[in-house]
Structures are given as C-alpha cells and as structure tokens.
Amino acid sequence: MLRDEMITVFGGSGFVGRYVVRALARRGYRVRVATRRPHLAGDLKVMGVVGQIQLAQANIRVESSVDRAVEGAHAVVNLVGVLSESGRQTFTRLHTAGAKAVAAAADRAGVERLIHVSAIGADAGSESRYARSKAEGEAAVAKAFKGATIMRPSIIFGAEDEFFNRFAAMARFVPALPLIGGGKTKFQPVFVGDVAEAVANAIADPKTMGQVYELGGPKVYTFKELMAYLLDTVDRQRFLVPLPFPIATVMGMGGEMFGALPFAEPFLTRDQVRQLKVDNVVHPRARGLEDLGVRPETVESIVPTYLGRYRRHGQFHEREA
C-alpha cells in the first residue's frame, strides 16, 4: 500500500541514488526522481508499483527546476556529487551552490525533512577542493534548512561502484597497480545498500533532524590492503608499486589533460591525490550506521559477488587451493 508522502531524490538515477529509490519504494513512499536526463532513467520505474516512481527533469544549477522538483514533497534527499570536475559540473557549482539551492528550495516549499549526503573528509581547511566544497555545502545546507540531516559516507562499494571495479579492470591489462603515497591511506568502505537504508530510516525518524552521521563499514583497511584483497578476489598476480605523492601529482596532471578530451574520464586528478593524503574513516565519537538502525555489511561478503567477471579464468572457474 502506498503512503501519502512524496520523497524527492536529487541524483536518484546515479549509483547511490538507485539504491535509495529502491529502499524508499520498498517502504511504500511515492518517489520523485529529480535528474538532468529523465529519458535515461526509465528503468527506475520498475522499482515500484505503477505510478509510484515519477521522473522529473531538474538541474540543481537551475533554480526554477529545483523549485518544481520539491513542490509538494514531504522530504528531499540530495545525492548530487562528482569525484572529478568536467565542464560546468564543478565542485563549487554542485557541492556548494547546488546544495544551497536544494536546501533553500526545500525550505521555501515547506518540506519537512532534508537529507543531505556529503562525504567523510569534508573540511573547510583542506588542501583538496573537493573536500572544501563538501564542507562549504554542509554549512550552506545547515544555514538554509533548519533541521537538515547530514550524512558523510566513506568510499561506497557495490556492484556499480567506481572503486573496486576500476582497479579490477586495470588489473586485467597492467602488470602492476599503483599505491599512491605508499598505500598507507586508511579507508572504511561502506556498502551502498547500507547507505540507502540509512537514508530511508533517517526520513522516518524525527530524532535524526539536525544531526550529522558518518557512514562506514565494520572494518578499516589501508589502500594497500584493499588492493591486495582485490587481486586475491580476481585471482590475478600483480605487483603493488608504491607511488610517492609528488609523482602521483604529476600523473594527476596528465589525467586532467586526458579528461579534457571529449567523452574521456580522467584516470587520476591532482585533487584526488590531495584527498589521499588524509585517512577516510569514521571519527570515533561520530554517530554512525548503528545509530540509524543499520547493521553494516562487510567488504568480504559483498565484493566477491560482483568482481567475479574480472577473474583470470572467468567467474565460474574453480580457484586452485
């Protein structure tokens, strides 16, 4: 049975957004997916019953489209973000100005709840423009919408992720994987399904209003440990080569030049190198997934289910003992 509440999800057609839409639909909410290209998101409609999931054209850089998308909504979820800049899709425009625009529109429309998904490492004093823009966005949201709930996930993994999939694909063709900064940076990977459950649970719980949550999995890994685990999972032997930050910065510059080409994705940017200088883990005193009623999945229980296609002899080949 459908509920009366309408939830608008900005970025609902993206990696995390698809799981959030599914989690909300399972709870019976009506969902409005606000996306720049609704004609490419038609498959989202099958996540609910007929008429439960709507598609709306919206661009958080265009105020009028944001206003239309939040009209009549009970709650708004903002998932919009990029890992690297391209054209008009910059950190400042999306993470800061865009976040402020969504929060202000939600406030004007009388929306009851706003869930803003940021990132662990958001820091106004960071060397990284990504991290600074995330922190500035959080501040803008808190000012524009009283009672906004802010969530900061660590790196998010799942079948469509850009972390394990990217390095597993690289391992098929290159003899070595780079360990930027020696591979000492720490991460606390969180399953995308757990992030989605956290968002859905927060909407239903008024006690989460005005709170900040840091979302991480049950275990902390170094970058080197994650790469070693990945190689073992895909059954490939590759060298793990330490790459000092200065050299990685030069490679990042090359990645940015490559990314400037039409339809090209940068393999590395200088800003991403800056981010890797800081650990990406949940603060010991932060509220987390457990406070939102979510028991986090482990990397070991999820990642092998979708990396099988990268295995040396195929996903159905039995591994040697």
Query: Each residue of 38-76: pLDDT tens digit?
Result: 999 999 999 999 999 999 999 999 999 999 999 999 999
Q: How much is the mean pLDDT over the chain? A: 95
Which pLDDT belongs to residue 258? 85
Cβ atoms of 19 and 193 within 8 Å: the answer is yes
Least confident range from 17-21, 80-84, 94-98, 153-157: namely 80-84
3-state SS, residue 203: helix
CA atoms of 138 and 81, how far apart (whole Å): 13
Which pLDDT belongs to residue 23? 98
Q: What is the rounded average pLDDT of the residues 10-34?
A: 97
Least confident range from 21-35, 261-275, 297-311: namely 261-275
CA 272 to chain CA centroid, nearest Å: 15
Locate all alpha helices (DSSP H) within 148-280, ordered by sequence: 164-171, 192-204, 223-233, 245-259, 270-275
CA atoms of 212 and 196, how far apart (whole Å): 16
Least confident range from 90-104, 216-230, 252-266: namely 252-266
Taking domain 6-160+188-216+281-296, whether its CATH number is 3.40.50.300 is answered by no
Strands 186-187 and 221-222: antiparallel
Q: Distance of CA 312 to CAs 151, 299, 321, Å?
A: 38, 21, 15
3-state SS, residue 122: coil
**Sign of the alpha-carbon torsion through 136, 139, 144, 150:** positive
Q: What is the rounded average pLDDT of the residues 157-172?
A: 95
